Amino acid sequence: MGRLGAWLAGKVRDPLLAELRQGATPEGLAAAVSTAAAIGVLPLLGTTTALCALAGKLFRLNHVALQLTNYLLYPAQIALLVPFVRLGEWLTGSEAMPLDPSTVLSEFSAGPGAFLEKFAWAGVHGVLAWALTAPLAGWLLGRALRPTFRRLSEINLKP
């Protein structure tokens, strides 16, 4: 097992196995991971940790699986920001807004008011696209993960 494999085993597989050993069900873990995956790519930076905690509380989901998944998806959240905004712009027929990193950083440095004034609609477009795609993607992921977690539970929890 290479470095990445060892890291994934220690940081992803082992904590999820520990949850299964402590009584979490494969279905519950699949629900938590798929919910966190859907929330974790929300194109509003700084909101997903609280939203995952809220979802965990409301739907009685496994908080370890929620936050682990949310943490692991941070690079995907960054990578999907522009595609979500572009999809939202396309859905609403809006003009494409320049979203190059230097412009975004300079506007953010100028102050939160100026930043929000310039990029609020980009956020709305991104959230619209996310709201239309994330529920289906989360549901499909949950369906795919159930048998995986069942198998993992059966293999690793035998006496």
Determine if the pTM surpasses 0.85. Answer: yes
* Closest of 125, 26, 13, 140 to residue 68, by C-alpha: 13
Distance CA 135, CA 12 (A): 23
What one-character DSSP code corresponds to residue 42? -
- Three-state DSSP class for 135? helix
Grade residue 158 by pLDDT with cuts at 50, 70 and 90.
low
Distance CA 105, CA 2 (A): 37
Is the pLDDT at 113 greater than 80, yes or no?
A: yes
Per-residue CA distances from 78 to 38, 83, 117, 134, 150 (Å): 14, 10, 21, 15, 31
Which residue has tokens 């699986």?
A: 65
Task: Work out how many domains the chain is built from and give that number.
Answer: 1
Give residue 36's domain range.
Answer: 3-156
Q: What is the pLDDT of residue 1?
A: 67
Lowest-confidence segment of 56-65, 104-113, 139-148 by average pLDDT: 104-113
Is the pLDDT at 159 greater than 60, yes or no?
A: no
pLDDT above 90: percentage of residues in the chain: 62
- If you average pLDDT over residues 89-113, what whole number do you get? 85
Residue 141, both tokens: 């992921």
